[in-house]
Chain A
Amino acid sequence: MNMPTAGLTDTFVNGIDLSVDFAGIKAPNPFWLASAPPTDKAYNVVRAYEAGWGGVVWKTLGEDPAAVNVSSRYSAHFGRNREVLGFNNIELITDRSLEINLREITAVKKAWPDRALIVSIMVPCEEAAWKHILPLVEATGADGIELNLGCPHGMPERGMGAAVGQNPDLIEKVTRWCKQYYSKPVIVKLTPNITDIRAPARAALRGGADAVSLINTINSITSLDLDAMVARPTVGSQSTHGGYCGSAVKPIAMNMVAEIARDAPTRDLPISGIGGISNWRDAAEFVALGAGSVQVCTAAMLHGFRIVEEMKDGLSRWMAEKGYRTIADFTGKAIPNTTDWKHLDMNFQTIAHIDQDKCIECGRCYIACEDTSHQSIAKRVDAGGARRYEVIEEECVGCNLCQITCPVQDCITMVPQETGKPYMSWEEDPRNPFRKLSAADPAAL
């Protein structure tokens, strides 16, 4: 289905166009592989293209001599049924020579001209270093570069990766060098190991970045070997913190993407969303929060490149159902509805409703509400011993907890109530002690 033919687009549903133009980088679909082990060399990248990935960010290049990795590199945060919730690595950037990487990149781009090929780069924070490497990368014919300013382990100890990404001034400076010595799009990859993601994004913009991508991995220790009293992954008798990724980081990544998409200075800055994207729905959510493309790593590492087939198919069918013809049609569509707490409607009221026909009488809603929430569910036992759980509507605050703990789909629904009251933000709310100082009463400011 996905042969290396120039101009071929991914069509799963007639009329649905998955192709993207991301900051000037064109790709047949928004599913790219993030800079990581799966994109380490031509062999993997070609397999990825064959599987149908729209783009690849080649694993980070650095100065020679190449990095050297340790043995035992990954660890995971497992769910109760051994599903991988989160993944952690202590690998460094490419451990192959710059020359080999550049040669392979050139060949692969030539053979797969329709796919996006972006080169991730990390060199010391000195102008000369960037000035040296950028023309070499430009000569490969790759579509753009991504600055790895986020690697949280190993490289920061050498003054690179997150050591740069945590300092907005350095981000701006490095970005500017890149724009100076490289003619194609420059994407700045951001680290989440900071307090406010907007600061590095604004710095990248000031430096002239064409786009940002986020998130890089989060500092993490996933688990311990409690017999040996050492964290995983274990290198001999020791361990070190790694970078966390996989499904577990998706909520953190989505918030950061939304923060940048909502921030006035960076509102129009293209974002490549990264962080725990495992299926089409995850991708759609990132796009709805403003991402113009998405990057995947952990899901591919756990299941192989074939996962992209369902991602493209599922996304296409959902788009068709919703009437979106292109990715751009719904990019950022959820941003207007993503706001600050103070703008939420204080008069909105929703109440839990339990569908008694679907209820299997497990009692989880009851004990969750009774022990930890608002004691708003009553338990009744009929003569035959059947349990019946009923919402005490006047006590229910609409917190969603019962719906979350209910194991049956659609058994508990949250029903918005007709209060007859108009929209009222906290700034307008008479219960707000600082109301006079807020927008509700500009005169008082």
Chain B
Amino acid sequence: MTHYLDHLPRVGDTPGATPRALADNFSDLHPPLTERQAIIESQRCLYCYDAPCIEACPSDIDIPRFIRQIGEDNINGAVHTILEQNILGGSCARVCPTEILCEQSCVRNHDAECQPVLIGLLQRHATDNMRFEEHPFQRAADSGRRVAVVGAGPAGLACAHRLAMFGHQVTLFEAEAKPGGLNEYGIARYKMTDDFARREVEFLLGIGGIEIRHGWRLGDNLSLEQLRGEYDSVFLGLGLGASRRLGLTGEDAPGLMPAVAYIKALRQAEDLVDLPLARRCVVIGAGNTAIDMATQMARLGAEEVTLVYRRGVESMSATGHEQAIAKANGVRMMTWARPVEVLLDGKGRVAGMRFEKTREEGGRLVGTGETLDIEADGVFKAIGQGFDATSLADPLAAQLARDGERIQVDGNFRTSLPRVYAGGDCVAPGQDLTVQAVQHGKLAAHAIHRALMAQQEAA
């Protein structure tokens, strides 16, 4: 996928870019707490009643309870509290924007209280240190029901695990070679290090009753019609596989590519020195993917990284915390400018981007006519993900009612097609957060289970 950058030098060509230096650059952004630190931090939790942090957690984790369990040296108990609501609690501990969720609502996030309890790091401490001899959740007796889950990302995995707990047989269809979805392919390497994503999925599958099949893609070799025929229910956790296009000429020129594709290559790279490196990068976008892309490029050795966004800082979807990470890594932020032209060199390769300055007029974004060029040998677009058109090639999937481009679901995650449910980033409304995808998968599993049980009673 990085063939767009084949003409560029490799990361290892930069003096000083030794495997060791790179490993340091991509080690844990927030190192885990030591046991002692975790105990001290756990004591800061006030064990609030009806705690605001629980209300702020999209996956309903009983945060004060698990923190108290950490404080009482009951790590397995703490992990059970976390995982019973969020089976991907380990990855959420790493990737959740806690600064706008639990930690923002922490009652100690208050001038007089110094700072919020470090809930994310405590959750990580618990999940990193669990010591279960066998999978902590038990399957109910086999229900004889079979459910197909499409997509082994956070939503699909959470759904599959909960369905397995209820005693249903789950077949998980995944297009990629590895399970995990964005956890495996899309998270900045310093946020989720080593093979944690793989190990977490392995742990999750430990409940049993889940068969995972790789290389199956809806609309390609997998048909929704067939799944509906063979399974009692279907859950779609398709994610948002398509990167939005800029809609400019030269968009397919060497040197320009989607940020998610580069991040995927970066996450899968055995050796970072082999990755192509743009010495001068432009990242277009203002979400967490844009930040991840810009920061990782800087850490790989890029000399100049500029993040360009068409609106002001206040409209960026990346949190202030994320923006600060990028700035600390030397990323330059340019706001109020939109891409208008891909600048090419004599060989037809990217040489830079031309931007037009923007401003807001009556709530609408308009160009000012003034342009500026930024020289770059690599341009990465991170302007959002869309529904992958190929999954709609499936004749039945094409009939799914939509809400914008995303799949429409009701409060029980039911799509417009009977016995077909959907959740995660592919449905609306979505915050596109891992933790929310997990919650969707879990709640959809409950809804599927209720429906299957109702059928059984009716029969």
Contacts and interface: CB of A to CB of B under 8 A. Distances in A.
A360 B47 CA distance: 13
B43 A363 contact: no
Contacts, number: 40
Contacts of A80: 43, 71-72
Interface residues of A, number: 16
Given A81-B43, A408-B112, A362 B107 contact: yes
Interface residues of B, number: 18
Interface stretch (B1-9, B49-57, B389-397): B49-57
Contacts of B43: 80-81
B110 interface: yes
A251 interface: no
B40 A363 contact: no
Contacts of B108: 360
A387 B46 CA distance: 16
Interface string A348-368: 000000000010111110110
Interface in B193-248: none
B294 to A, nearest CB: 34
B29 interface: no
Contacts of B71: 80
A366 B107 CA distance: 15
Contacts of B130: none
B39 interface: yes
Contact of B39 (A81, A361, A363): A81
B39 to A, nearest CB: 7
A385 interface: yes
Interface centre among B39, B43, B48, B49 (most CB of A within 10 A): B49
A407 interface: yes
Contacts of A385: 52, 55
B370 interface: no
Nearest to A82: B39
Nearest to A361: B107
A363 B51 contact: yes
Contacts of A367: 49-50
A379 B108 CA distance: 19
A416 B77 CA distance: 44
Contacts of B361: none
Given A80-B71, A385-B55, A408-B112, A364 B40 contact: no
A366 B51 CA distance: 12
A367 B50 CA distance: 9
B314 interface: no
B113 interface: yes
A428 to B, nearest CB: 41
Contacts of A362: 46, 48-49, 51, 107
Contacts of B72: 80
A81 B39 CA distance: 7
Contacts of A360: 46, 107-108, 110, 112-113
Interface in B52-84: 52, 55, 71-72
B49 A364 contact: yes
A391 to B, nearest CB: 16
A82 B40 CA distance: 9
Contacts of B40: 81
A364 B50 CA distance: 9
B49 A363 contact: yes
Interface in B29-45: 39-40, 43
Contacts of B48: 361-364
Interface centre among B50, B51, B72 (most CB of A within 10 A): B50
25 contacts: A80-B71, A81-B40, A81-B43, A82-B39, A360-B46, A360-B107, A360-B110, A360-B113, A361-B48, A361-B52, A361-B107, A362-B46, A362-B49, A362-B51, A363-B50, A363-B51, A364-B47, A364-B48, A364-B49, A367-B49, A367-B50, A379-B50, A385-B52, A387-B50, A408-B112
Given A407-B46, A408-B112, 15 more contacts: A80-B72, A358-B112, A360-B108, A360-B110, A362-B48, A363-B49, A363-B50, A364-B46, A364-B48, A364-B49, A366-B49, A367-B50, A385-B52, A385-B55, A387-B50
